[in-house]
Amino acid sequence: MHIGVFADLEGSFGIWRMRQCRTGTREWQYGRSCLTADVNSVVCGAFDGGADRVTVKDTHDTGFNCLTDKLDRRVRYVGGHYANPSLFGDIGGIDLVLYVAIHAAAGTPGAFFPHTHYGIFSEVRINGAPAGEMDIYGAYLGEFGIPVGFVSGEDVAVDQALRTLPWAKAVRVSKAKETYTSGEKSLVYLEEGRRELRASAAEAVRGVSRMRPLRLKGPLRFDAVFRTEELAIQFNTWNFERRAEIVSWDAADMLEGFEKLNRLVFIPKKAYPFRRPLAFALRSWFRMKTRWFAPRPDSGGAPFSG
């Protein structure tokens, strides 16, 4: 059984500040250790549950957040973003995805660093309903027949995910500063939380036969509500339908809808013919930069999290 452990960052144990998620900061370097420890716990759970292979797919920002020299040596690590066969690279053959460290959807009141796919949106809607990343990514993976069977993150993010993926196992993660800066008490919380990650991941893998790919029946209507009209104008190089700060498009299914979302956000129309070499160049650059030129970590007073 081939398990994909997909990793965001904001929902990691140990993270409570936005700068801990901002690529290139000293706080982010600490956040990377938090994420890597979470991922390793889920990887161990996947193997406990019966996985034969585990691929770790890094999805936050540039896609190079895990500390590869600290990852479980049994995994294959895939960093960065791809032009084909999917944004996530080659996901063929994955039987189940376990999604670590998710965050709430754009526009969620009181959530930690809420956004959907990219931080320029105040809301993303599909057929009129607000959509988060587990709606979009879950339905995109569902088009390949791959279910999402596990999520971890703060309470509101988990609640949103379970409305879409009610079969998934879940672990809830505190985003309160005092949870992680209280010395020995914090270390106990981290240890217990990561033990829960491992146990819940194993339970998800053992229950793979009960997991279902998420499929959204088309046609689909997407509305991306930008934070300002100026941003909508700047990013809409594809001349999708626009009403002030809202850019909209129609799609037959999630494969088409997600492709258009990525064009809107990441691939200006003039760059589209060069998307494959550009994706390769960006992966190569960020792989080197985050491996060899990362800053020294700043934990902000938290005990070591790894």
* CATH code at position 105: 3.40.50.10780
Residue 24 in domain: yes
> Residue 231 belongs to what domain range?
2-292
Q: Is residue 171 part of a domain?
A: yes
Give me 55's structure tokens. 């691929």
Tell me whether residue 305 is in a domain.
no
Q: H helices then E strands: how many in the chain? A: 8, 11
Taking the model in full, what pTM does it have?
0.96
Over residues 21-48, mean pLDDT:
97
CA distances for 34 relative to 13, 14, 146, angstroms: 6, 6, 27
Q: Is 279 in a helix, a strand, or coil?
A: helix
Residue 98 within any structural domain of the chain: yes
Task: Specify whether the CB–CB gap between 77 and 56 falls below 8 A.
Answer: yes
Distance CA 243, CA 229 (A): 9
**Residue carrying structure tokens 């949106």:** 121
Name the pairing type of β-strands 241-243 and 129-130.
Answer: unpaired
Whether 75 is covered by a domain: the verdict is yes
Alpha-carbon Rg of the chain, whole angstroms? Answer: 19
DSSP conformational letter for 9: S
Give the torsion sign (CA, 18, 23, 26, 30): positive
pLDDT at 306: 62
**pLDDT given for residue 303 in this prediction:** 85
CB atoms within 10 A of CB 254: 26
* Residue 110 resides in a domain: yes
Query: 38: how many CB neighbours lie within 10 A of its CB?
Result: 30
Is the confidence at residue 122, as pLDDT, over 80?
yes
- Outline where the chain has alpha helix (H): 26-48, 133-143, 155-164, 177-180, 184-206, 229-235, 254-266, 275-292
Number of domains in the chain: 1
Q: What is the mean pLDDT of residues 207-211?
A: 96
pLDDT at 167 over 80: yes
Confidence of residue 55 (pLDDT cuts 50, 70, 90): very high
